[in-house]
Amino acid sequence: MTQAELTTPLPTAQKKTHIDWVLSALFKPKATFERILQDHQSNWSTPIILLMLVTMLQVVLVGMISEDASLSGQVNLPPSFQYYTPEQQAQLEKALAVSNGPVFTYVFPTILSMGKILLGWLLVGAGLHLLLTLMGGRSSSRVIMNVAAWAGLPFAVREVVQACYLLLSQDLIRFPGLSGFAPVEVGTLNLFVAELLKQMDLYWIWHIALLMLGVRLLKDLSAVKAILSVVVIQLLAMGLQTLPGLLAGQLGNLTIIRPFF
């Protein structure tokens, strides 16, 4: 081996951000998802980081609006607040003061939002890979995780649209998705329906369409099996995402300290 060969540095693989794929994945999905599938490296970080950033922006806007409402005296008290004992009223007012602090306004919502994004991506990607493998697919888990991440870009668009609404209206979004059609009666079933409807909107349909396209482009399963896998994993993901809302609703009915939920 010559001295030149010894001193020549070895080539290193350069990670690409693939930021140029973002708009094309949304509006020219077929060609872009073919490039995503042909890439032999993990390229999921770009859509996941982008979704996290715009989600953090919305958390900050919601926190600012909530703080302004609290300073102006717009506090949502329980309908039967006047019937509480003085000790219960003091406890509730203390809980309101704590829940309006920066920890509950910014820190906890940010942590929960980031966790929801990561867990949702892992659930959809890993679950879809498992279903596709059971049905005879031969694609690697890395490829499916890439597809699941890029198919989540419509949720980033939703966060941007909602952030624009918050900036322009200076008011919170009361009924996300189709939750405005949820039954108003109290009950576990009605709460479950409301949590499901919160997740249903045009961006969710857009996400499913991109996911189906990416799975179909794998070309190792029939169209029926590919679509069935996506539908099953979406139903499972929606069911699991209702659990936090159901738990919060049940706990909210058990205690007067409702601001935490």
Domain boundaries, the chain: 44-69+82-260
Q: Tens-of-pLDDT digits for all 261 residues of the chain? A: 455 444 444 444 455 678 999 999 999 999 999 999 998 789 999 999 999 999 999 999 998 888 777 666 555 555 555 556 777 666 666 666 656 677 778 888 899 899 999 999 999 999 999 999 999 888 899 999 999 999 999 999 999 999 999 999 888 888 888 877 777 666 777 778 888 888 899 999 999 999 999 999 988 888 899 899 999 999 998 888 887 767 766 555 544 333 333
| Residues 240, 244, 247: CA angle, nearest 5 degrees | 115
pLDDT of residue 4: 47
Contacts of 211 (CB under 8 A, 6+ apart): 124, 128, 147, 148, 151, 230, 234
- Quick one: pLDDT at residue 250? 59
pLDDT of residue 60: 93
CA dist 157 and 150 (Å) reads 12
The span from the CA of 220 to the CA of 222, in Å, is 7
Surface-to-core class of residue 111, CB atoms within 10 Å of its CB (0-12 exposed, 13-18 middle, 19+ buried): exposed
Six token digits for residue 78: 């329980």
Q: Which of 186, 238, 180, 245 is nearest to 208 (CA)?
A: 238
At residue 251, the pLDDT reads 55
Instruction: Output the six-digit token pair for 149.
Output: 């991440």
Residue that has been written with the tokens 């419509």 in this structure: 154
pLDDT score, position 174: 81
DSSP 109-121: HHHHHHHHHHHHH
CA distance 75 to 87: 19
pLDDT digits (tens, 9 = 90+) for 129-148: 999 999 988 889 999 999 99
d(CA 195, CA 190): 9
pLDDT for the residue 92: 63
CA gap 105, 64 in Å, rounded = 8
Residue 55: Cβ-neighbour burial (10 angstroms; 0-12, 13-18, 19+): buried
pLDDT value for 256: 36
State residue 181's pLDDT score. Answer: 77
pTM of the model: 0.80
